[in-house]
Structure 1
């Protein structure tokens, strides 16, 4: 895991564009697709912190965090199911503070399963304009994960 560098642009654009089609397939539909080049600035890709995951020196995914919200998380489809998305998510959550939020499109069961397995719960489900391509409608699950705190009952847990 490392911070994004300008030299990563072409690679993260390729990753986004391939993975976004998978994300849209069973939600808003592939006809709602817009490339990263078309959406990055308007959708705030660079508004917060941005990291890339590398596997053997090759960028295989990226995650963006704006405040406490995971705003982007994409993994190269050639590297799905290898723990890269989980590592990216954990990295972002570690920088989010006491809570982390994310919106996951309905129809993306793999993403929902990942977030649930990392302690996120659905707070609300909304249907409205698709972020990034408002000409289309989508349903999104707003999810949150709060940091675990143990009650201070006066016992010594060191031992």
Structure 2
């Protein structure tokens, strides 16, 4: 697997991956809501974030988009992994890439997304607060998670070995 910055030609694949992953992890938002939100991902979120994609390379020259992470300053705006690549280390690799860049201090996650909460907890993130609504004002509780400095230093120490 290799990481690289997103280019405009990746947008369609990233939006499709976002929808597929969101339908499997954010079902509580409703299918039509997620379909409608694709426009925001394409026109607002991806163009205004520093996004890195993970490309899974199979035997030969075949390469497939496995996931992406979008960063806004030191805030993780989103991390999405294609369902067929989940539980294979793609999300961890993307997150660790952002941590090594010093750009993974905080994020928000839906309280109803238990798998994501457990994933970030395993990586050392701790709850720093909550909000009763998401960024669009929808009544879905959001948890604010932060990565303590000591955890960031542990990750960076691992890379120096």
Q: TM-score, normalised by structure 1?
A: 0.81
Looking at secondary structure, tell me which structure has more strand per residue: 1
Secondary structure of 1:119's aligned partner: coil
Looking at secondary structure, tell me which structure has more helix per residue: 2
Which ranges of structure 2 fall in alignment gaps of 5 or more residues? 58-62, 155-161
- How far the C-alpha of 1:102 sits from its partner, in A, is 0.5
How many residue pairs are counted as aligned between the two chains? 145
Is 1:105 aligned to residue 115 of structure 2? no
Match of 2:88 in 1: 82
- How far the C-alpha of 1:63 sits from its partner, in A, is 0.5
Q: Distance in 2 between matches of 1:32 and 1:41?
A: 15
Q: Distance in 2 between matches of 1:93 and 1:7?
A: 26
Q: Distance in 2 between matches of 1:41 and 1:110?
A: 25
Secondary structure of 1:96's aligned partner: coil
- How far the C-alpha of 1:79 sits from its partner, in A, is 1.2
Q: Distance in 1 between matches of 2:43 and 2:146?
A: 24
Contact (CA 8 Å) 2:76, 2:106: kept in 1 or not? Answer: yes
Distance 1:127 1:119, change over 3 A: same
Distance 1:70 1:77, change over 3 A: same
Contact (CA 8 Å) 2:126, 2:148: kept in 1 or not? Answer: no
Secondary structure of 1:107's aligned partner: coil
- How far the C-alpha of 1:35 sits from its partner, in A, is 4.9
Secondary structure of 1:33's aligned partner: helix
Distance 1:30 1:139, change over 3 A: farther
Match of 1:4 in 2: 6
Distance 1:43 1:146, change over 3 A: farther
Which has more radius of gyration?
Answer: 1
Which ranges of structure 1 fall in alignment gaps of 5 or more residues? 151-159
Q: Distance in 2 between matches of 1:43 and 1:96?
A: 23
- After the TM superposition, which of the residue ranges 141-150 and 9-18 deviates more from structure 2? 141-150
